[in-house]
Amino acid sequence: MINLSEFSIFFIANWKLNGNLSFIKEYTQLLKVNSSNGNCVVICPTAIYLNNFKQNEGNYYLGAQDISKYETGAFTGEISSKSLNEFGVNFCIVGHSERRQYFNEKNEDVKEKATKLLENEIIPIICVGETLEEKKNNSTLDVISNQILKGIPSESNEQNTIIAYEPIWAIGTGLTPSIEEIDIIHQSIRKINNKISNYKIIYGGSVNAKNSHDIISLSDVDGALIGGASLKIDDFNKIIG
């Protein structure tokens, strides 16, 4: 299993339901990863394409976008952590707000999925974040605390689990919290619980080539989870460069 403490900054590309074979071929030819600077770059395509990346592997790691909470059995359409491990996948996003919103995923599901991933030596990237309404109600920290306390398994620690803070209202909208707000919320997340105070905590939500540097320069931000801008190879190269 990868030891997270070996890296300083994480750049995780969440392709969501985008990409195809020719896109992957061109993307991997143009992707410029500098592995000597302590950065960890992870590409998360849709699961069916994971093996195409393996064939072209460069200085980056592979991640899945979701996983079954079940290991084996009569669960049509599911993919297990064990099979991700067989294909050399090192990371997996869990509890993304789109999974919570469109597929009714609950904190308890997130915990079960993360547990299965850890059992199979895969790093869970556990997503948390508030809606705009929750932000307006000043309940951001309560929402995140609940997601963290209920969604992170006891087997997690700072070397094997990443937390991704993604305010839902910032995803795909071009809106982001201010740099000061990101700084404060990341500091506050670390104080939710002693156990997570030294976790790698990354930020996601409209990260792009212009704002990424300021965001990842914050001492309590350990990287970025990037959606739309990760699909534009020139922008993504600038972000990870």
Could you list the active site residues? 96, 166
Q: Which of residues 5-64 bind ligand 13P (CB under 6 A)?
A: 14
Is 122 one of the binding residues for ligand 13P (CB under 6 A)? Answer: no
Whole-angstrom Cα distance, residue 57 to residue 28? 8
The residue at minimum Cβ distance from ligand 13P is 227
Which residues, including other chains, have CB under 8 Å from residue 121's CB and lie 6 or more apart?
1, 85
Q: Which stretch binds ligand 13P (CB under 6 A): 19-27, 101-109, 182-190, 221-229?
A: 221-229
Is 183 one of the binding residues for ligand 13P (CB under 6 A)? Answer: no
Q: Which stretch binds ligand 13P (CB under 6 A): 31-39, 109-117, 183-191, 200-208?
A: 200-208
How is residue 154 annotated by DSSP?
T
Is 228 one of the binding residues for ligand 13P (CB under 6 A)? Answer: yes
Of the two residues 128 and 225, which places its CB atom closer to ligand 13P in the complex?
Answer: 225
Is 177 one of the binding residues for ligand 13P (CB under 6 A)? Answer: no
Pairing, β 123-128 against β 61-64: unpaired
The total of other beta-carbon atoms located within 10 Å of residue 50's CB is 21
Is 66 one of the binding residues for ligand 13P (CB under 6 A)? Answer: no
In contact, 85 and 92? CB cutoff 8 Å: no
Smallest distance, ligand 13P to C-beta of residue 171, A: 4
Number of residues engaging ligand 13P in binding (CB under 6 A): 14
Is 101 one of the binding residues for ligand 13P (CB under 6 A)? Answer: no
Of the two residues 5 and 172, which places its CB atom closer to ligand 13P in the complex?
Answer: 172
What string of DSSP letters covers 25-91?
HHHHHH----GGGSEEEEEE--GGGHHHHHHT--S-EEEES---S--SSS-TT---HHHHHHTT--E
Whole-angstrom Cα distance, residue 189 to residue 38? 24
Q: Which stretch binds ligand 13P (CB under 6 A): 28-36, 150-158, 189-197, 199-207?
A: 199-207
In contact, 239 and 11? CB cutoff 8 Å: yes
Residues in contact with ligand 13P by the rule CB under 6 A: 14, 96, 166, 171-172, 204-207, 225-229
